[in-house]
């Protein structure tokens, strides 16, 4: 970032903001009722997300970076996510669809003017350039949340996209990741959020990790062998969750006489065996792993598998190297409305041969969400620090709904272990025995 000229920084930020907005507009290009209905207690009405995107942009770019007067100071409270739980948002006096669209347009005009004028050099370079990155990622994160809202919505399909590539061929089931130190986290990545910082050395023991995420086919074996009815596979809180909520299969699945079917953005279809399983909670992932005689990877294990290059000993930005994601690397950006078959992205594999770490499905890890040694909250405690603790589990790698601007090898997402309306899947790991390390 320090090496880019102010003109290049501006062009990069403007392009990323524009791409995020195009996505937000596709996701909200639906009738007023679809926009204003609460499709699930777990989600906001789509029209709340849209104006919240504008409100955060007004706070951080228009007022903070630009030093300008508020556009709509009266909206701050309505769109403050910390003041209102999602379940309560429908009763807020929020902007209607036309006003929300007008509001985000007005804010965006101002932030692009500010981007043209801000020096992007000298004392405030890092803070100002980061603010544009933070707001871009914030909009993209809400775009993924809005995509999850679309998945929860009842009715005919309104979103359409071509299918992702097919598998390029079979792969070995697991890969050995060598033990020893590697660099985890980052101090250099310009748009990295506070919880990804700073870079620090971490040691892992040698372990095996699945080459790909666990597929629907493999998961169905767990289901069909009675895995959901056998407490021996479940943790104590996991079993209580399964019992209390009558959980019998991944979210959106239904058993028919001829096997498992699912609803996906309004389409009812047979569950495709070769795709990663999606819409499972941490507890379901953990139960599957135990049934399979394996376990979930820890966060350091996942990151080492994704970033460690044994040839140089360096940690790279992405499994395939330092280049920004391209279409052949990963299923990202809502280009496809489903995960791709395992083996579909050979160009995105890590040097050790681990595939589809980025894109397709978020992957549950066994780790709680905590700050790294030397963590400093930035720009505010509510961004991530207030979520640190044992209640949240970390997910890695992004999904087909995540934009390239909002994912990298160091990126950390977090959620409650019961959540599964997100695009969540997993892969398994196991300890390497003494005889297995060469
Ligand atoms: C990082 C996905 C957990 O959606 O709650 C959006 C991102 N933070 N607005 C969330 C976020 C503030 C956050 N997650
Ligand atoms: Fe937000």
**Among residues of the chain, what percentage have pLDDT more than 90?**
91
pLDDT band at 119 (very low <50, low <70, confident <90, very high): confident
User: For residues 20 and 405, is the Cβ–Cβ distance under 8 A?
Assistant: yes
How close is the Cα of 214 to the center of ligand 1, in Å? 25
For residue 322, say whether it is annotated as part of any ligand binding site: no
For residue 419, say whether it is annotated as part of any ligand binding site: yes
pLDDT of residue 255 exceeding 90, the answer is yes
| Residue whose CA lies nearest to ligand 1 atom number 7 | 141
| Residue whose CA lies nearest to ligand 1 atom number 14 | 413
Phi-psi sector, 419: left (phi>0), alpha (psi -120 to 50), beta? beta
Closest atom of ligand 1 to CA, residue 414: 3
Closest atom of ligand 1 to CA, residue 145: 4
| Cis peptide bond upstream of 184, omega within 30 | no
pLDDT band at 226 (very low <50, low <70, confident <90, very high): very high
ipTM score of the complex? Answer: 0.98
How close is the Cα of 285 to the center of ligand 1, in Å? 22
| Residue whose CA lies nearest to ligand 1 atom number 10 | 141
Q: Half-sphere exposure (CA, 13 Å, Cβ side) for 275? A: 23
Give the residues across from 259 on adjacent strands. 256
User: For residues 341 and 166, is the Cβ–Cβ distance under 8 A?
Assistant: yes
pLDDT band at 56 (very low <50, low <70, confident <90, very high): very high
Q: What is the pLDDT of residue 126?
A: 81
How close is the Cα of 139 to the center of ligand 1, in Å? 10
pLDDT band at 291 (very low <50, low <70, confident <90, very high): very high
Backbone angles phi, psi at 432, to 5 degrees: -90, 130
Q: CA-to-CA distance for 17 and 36, rounded, in angstroms?
A: 25
pLDDT of residue 112 exceeding 80, the answer is yes
For residue 317, say whether it is annotated as part of any ligand binding site: no
Q: What is the pLDDT of residue 120?
A: 82
For residue 87, say whether it is annotated as part of any ligand binding site: yes
Closest atom of ligand 1 to CA, residue 415: 3
Q: What is the mean pLDDT of residues 86-113?
A: 95
What are the DSSP calls for 24-83, one per residue? HHHHT-S-HHHHHS-S-TTS--HHHHHHHHHHHHIIIIIIIIT-PPPS-GGGTTTT-TTT
Question: CA nearest 269: which of 170, 399, 157?
Answer: 157
pLDDT of residue 438 exceeding 90, the answer is no
| Residue whose CA lies nearest to ligand 1 atom number 9 | 138
Q: What is the mean pLDDT of residues 175-203?
A: 96
Q: Which residues surround ligand 1 with Cβ inside 6 Å?
A: 81, 138, 141-142, 145, 413-414
Q: CA-to-CA distance for 406 and 359, rounded, in angstroms?
A: 11
For residue 156, say whether it is annotated as part of any ligand binding site: no
pLDDT band at 26 (very low <50, low <70, confident <90, very high): very high
Q: CA-to-CA distance for 390 and 205, rounded, in angstroms?
A: 23
Backbone angles phi, psi at 416, to 5 degrees: -65, 145
CB atoms within 10 A of CB 56: 19
Q: What is the pLDDT of residue 125?
A: 81
Nearest ligand to residue 196 Cα = 1
Question: CA nearest 167: which of 209, 217, 222, 219?
Answer: 217
Q: CA-to-CA distance for 325 and 329, rounded, in angstroms?
A: 6
Q: Which of 141, 143, 379, 385 to mutate to test the pocket of ligand 1 (most atoms within 8 A of CB)?
A: 141
For residue 142, say whether it is annotated as part of any ligand binding site: yes
How close is the Cα of 414 to the center of ligand 1, in Å? 8
pLDDT band at 354 (very low <50, low <70, confident <90, very high): very high
For residue 89, say whether it is annotated as part of any ligand binding site: yes
As a whole number, the mean pLDDT across the chain is 96
Nearest ligand to residue 59 Cα = 2
User: For residues 415 and 400, is the Cβ–Cβ distance under 8 A?
Assistant: no
The sheet that has 259-264: what strands, in order across it? 253-256, 259-264, 267-270
Q: What is the pLDDT of residue 2?
A: 55
How close is the Cα of 353 to the center of ligand 1, in Å? 31
| Residue whose CA lies nearest to ligand 1 atom number 1 | 413
pLDDT of residue 380 exceeding 90, the answer is no
The sheet that has 424-425: what strands, in order across it? 413-415, 389-396, 362-369, 424-425
Neighbouring residues of 347: CB distance < 8 A, sequence distance ≥ 6 = 320, 328, 329
200-204 and 180-184 as β-strands: parallel, antiparallel, unpaired? Answer: antiparallel
User: For residues 148 and 400, is the Cβ–Cβ distance under 8 A?
Assistant: no
Q: Buried b vs exposed e over 210-231: b needs ≥16 C-beta within 10 Å?
A: bbbbbbbebbbebbeeebbeee
Closest atom of ligand 1 to CA, residue 142: 6
Per-residue pLDDT tens over the stretch 127-177: 888 999 999 999 999 999 999 999 999 999 999 999 999 999 999 999 999
Q: What is the pLDDT of residue 121?
A: 79
Indicate the pTM of the whole model. Answer: 0.97
Phi-psi sector, 359: left (phi>0), alpha (psi -120 to 50), beta? left
| 270 three-class SS | strand
Q: What is the pLDDT of residue 180?
A: 97
- Measured CA to CA in angstroms, residue 49 lies from 67, 141, 179 at distances of 25, 10, 43
């Amino acid at each position: 970032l320090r090496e880019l000229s102010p003109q290049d920084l501006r062009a990069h930020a403007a392009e990323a903001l524009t791409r995020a907005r195009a996505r937000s507009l596709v996701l909200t290009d639906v009738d007023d009722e679809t926009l204003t209905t609460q499709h699930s207690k777990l989600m906001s009405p789509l029209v709340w997300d849209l104006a919240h995107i504008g409100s955060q942009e007004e706070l951080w770019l228009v007022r903070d970076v630009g030093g300008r007067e508020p556009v709509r100071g009266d909206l701050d409270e309505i769109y403050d996510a910390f003041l209102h739980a999602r379940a309560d948002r429908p009763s807020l006096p929020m902007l209607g669809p036309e006003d929300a669209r007008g509001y985000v347009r007005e804010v965006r005009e101002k932030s692009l003017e500010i981007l043209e004028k801000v020096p992007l050099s000298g004392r405030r370079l890092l803070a100002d350039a980061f603010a544009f990155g933070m707001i871009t990622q914030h909009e993209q994160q809400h775009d993924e949340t809005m995509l999850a809202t679309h998945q929860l919505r009842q009715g005919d399909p309104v979103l359409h996209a071509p299918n992702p590539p097919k598998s390029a061929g079979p792969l070995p089931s697991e890969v050995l990741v060598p033990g020893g130190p590697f660099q985890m986290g980052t101090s250099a990545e310009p748009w990295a959020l506070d919880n990804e910082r700073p870079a620090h050395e971490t040691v892992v023991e040698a372990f095996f990790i699945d080459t790909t995420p666990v597929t629907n086919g493999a998961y169905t074996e767990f289901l069909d062998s009675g895995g959901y009815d056998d407490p021996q596979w479940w943790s104590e809180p996991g079993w209580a969750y399964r019992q209390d909520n009558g959980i019998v299969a991944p979210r959106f699945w239904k058993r028919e006489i001829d096997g498992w079917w699912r609803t996906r953005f309004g389409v009812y279809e047979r569950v495709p065996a070769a795709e990663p399983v999606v819409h499972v909670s941490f507890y379901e992932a953990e139960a599957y792993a135990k049934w399979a005689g394996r376990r979930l990877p820890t966060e350091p294990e996942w990151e080492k598998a994704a970033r460690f290059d044994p040839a140089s000993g360096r940690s790279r930005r992405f499994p395939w190297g330092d280049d920004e994601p391209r279409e052949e690397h990963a299923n990202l950006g809502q280009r496809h409305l489903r995960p791709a078959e395992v083996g579909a992205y050979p160009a995105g594999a890590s040097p050790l041969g681990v595939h589809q770490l980025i894109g397709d499905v978020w992957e549950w890890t066994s780790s709680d969400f905590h700050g790294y040694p030397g963590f400093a909250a930035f720009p505010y405690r509510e961004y991530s620090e207030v979520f640190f603790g044992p209640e949240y589990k970390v997910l890695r790698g992004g999904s087909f709904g995540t934009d390239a601007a909002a994912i990298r090898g160091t990126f950390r997402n977090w959620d409650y272990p019961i959540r599964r309306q997100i695009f969540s899947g997993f892969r398994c790991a196991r300890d390497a025995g003494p005889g297995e390390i060469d």
